[in-house]
Amino acid sequence: MAALDPRHTNALVYDHPLVQHKLTRLRSRDTNYADFRRLLNELAGLMAYEVCRNLPTREVEIETPVARAKGRMLATPVTIVPILRAGLGMTDGLLSLFPEARVGHIGIYRDESTAKPVTYYSKLPDDVAHGPVILVDPMLATGGSAAHAVDILQERGVLNIQLVCLVAAPEGLTLMREQHPEVVVHTAAIDERLNEHYYIVPGLGDAGDRIFGTH
């Protein structure tokens, strides 16, 4: 379902037919807000299985209706951290797979004149460093916001961070590899480039506006 991209060795690209089908519908300018939100969460849910493949587990013993049995459960708490605001659009899709996950929030906006990230909000579990973090943002454009969010998490002691996005630009993947080579980027597509306004081409437009119906 996911394979390392030969050009960007920090990126796992999801080529599953359902992922690509839903991504194509998501890209279309004719997709309305309600369908955009639904497709975004469906894509996040489809990608979640692979994202969670290497989560640490522990052996437990339980009582079934018939007998005692050994099984495995997640060994540490998992925290989903959407980058506000667009990352909120993928959070429910991940929570539908494991609702016991905690949710932190990091608010970052891009200074339009410099394209640099600015933090305006950060709220994380006190013990966020005790388990893996799944960082979520639909678009990886310049990579500045994602790299900045990783900096914030690492300052809190988080060692296991994975980034989930739907569309990535080569420029963003390059910056992430340079600044945080230990972070695996999960994406449904690597697009051509950024334009002069730092939008991904062909991309899918402004994900936040398309999720929340703003302009």
Annotated catalytic, 206? yes
Annotated catalytic, 102? no
Q: Which fold is adopted by the domain 2-212?
A: Rossmann fold (3.40.50)
111: pLDDT strictly greater than 80:
no
69: pLDDT strictly greater than 90:
yes
115: pLDDT strictly greater than 70:
no
Distance, C-alpha 145 to centroid of its chain: 12
Give the mean pLDDT of 159-167.
95
- Mean pLDDT of all residues in the chain? 92
pLDDT at 85: 86
State pLDDT tens for residues 33-68. 999 999 999 999 999 988 988 888 999 999 999 999
Give the mean pLDDT of 185-203.
93
| Candidate list 5, 35, 92, 209, residue with the active-site label | 209
Give the mean pLDDT of 69-89.
93
| Candidate list 29, 53, 114, 126, residue with the active-site label | 114
Q: 39 vs 49, 60, 66, 93, 116, CA distance in Å?
A: 17, 36, 41, 9, 29
14: pLDDT strictly greater than 80:
yes
Ranges of each domain in the chain: 2-212
| Candidate list 102, 110, 156, 177, residue with the active-site label | 110
Higher pLDDT, 189 or 208: 189
pLDDT at 118: 86
Note whether 150 and 172 are within 8 A (CB).
no
Percent of the chain whose predicted confidence (pLDDT) is above 90: 75
Please report which confidence band the pLDDT of residue 205 belongs to, taking 50, 70 and 90 as the band edges: confident
